[in-house]
Structure 1
Amino acid sequence: MFEVRITDDFAAAHFLRDYNGKCENLHGHNYKVYVHVEGNELDEGGMLLDFTLLKTALKEVLSKIDHTNLNDIAIFDQNPSAERIAVYIYKNMLKVLSEKGLDLSKNSNRRISKVDVFETDKNRARYIPE
């Protein structure tokens, strides 16, 4: 099994509803994102997947949420937790890559195996597709 990982970051504000603590107030994070791809076969160039394709797709996905108030984005249902952000990134990475002719869904030879979203250096949420 091979695995590659790309990383990027974005900045955004949010607040958490149904939460009792300081995070219920509007605040911001400099999020760091890792996207992991795994598979059993390398292409003719000896790569699992070209890093540039992945990085370009991730930049496109993150550009939609960078420097926003995440609570204003309907998909987060007014509660943009790191877990929901990770799912959002996963689903949108699949969409962007599919538009480029790449299937990285859970049933393909190469697949996005997990997405990590760090709110801080110490706090991370991970989404692993079932």
Structure 2
Amino acid sequence: MFEVRVEAGFCAAHYLKNYHGKCESLHGHNYKVYAHARGKSLDGGGMLLDFTELKKALRAVCGSLDHTNLNDIEEFDQNPSAERIAVYIYRAILQQIPSLALDAKSDVHLYAVDVFETDTNRARYIAE
């Protein structure tokens, strides 16, 4: 099994509803995001996937989130946790590259998205 990973980031504000602590107040993060793709075979050029294609999709999604209040994005239902951000980014990448979906005919699929709120706090969404 081969795996590739690309990285992007964005800065955004959010607050968490139904949370009792500092994070219930508006605050911001410099998010770091990793997108992982996996597959069993390489193409004729010896690559699993062109980094450029996956990186372009991830950067576009992160760019759309940059300098926003994540609570204003309907899909987060006023609770943009790192877990919800990870699945949002996963789905947004698949909208741009449908061939990476698990049920696509391709051997390569988008395996996981990691969202770091800090260097030591990460949420991961894994495709199943």
Unaligned runs of 5+ in 2: none
User: Which residue of structure 1 aligns with residue 102 of structure 2?
Assistant: 106
Displacement, 1:63?
1.4
Match for 1:69: what amino acid? N
Match for 1:13: what amino acid? A
RMSD: 0.7
Q: Of 104, 113, 125, which aligns to 1:115?
A: 113
Q: Secondary structure at the match of 2:65?
A: coil
User: Which residue of structure 2 aligns with residue 89 of structure 1?
Assistant: 89
Relative to the length of structure 2, the TM-score reads 0.96
Displacement, 1:122?
0.6
Cα distance in 2 for residues equivalent to 1:104 and 1:97: 6
Cα distance in 2 for residues equivalent to 1:8 and 1:61: 9
Q: Secondary structure at the match of 2:100?
A: coil
Displacement, 1:97?
1.2
User: Which residue of structure 1 aligns with residue 21 of structure 2?
Assistant: 21
Match for 1:105: what amino acid? A
Displacement, 1:84?
0.3
Q: Give the 5 Å matches for 1:56-67.
A: 56-67=56-67
Cα distance in 2 for residues equivalent to 1:73 and 1:85: 10
* Identity rate, percent: 64
Cα distance in 2 for residues equivalent to 1:40 and 1:58: 22
Q: Of 114, 121, 124, which aligns to 2:122?
A: 124
Deviating above 6 A after TM superposition, structure 1's stretches of 4 or more consecutive aligned residues are none
Displacement, 1:64?
1.2
Cα distance in 1 for residues equivalent to 2:21 and 2:96: 36
**C-alpha distance after superposition, 1:90-118 (max 9, x if no partner):** 000000113xxxx1112341111111000
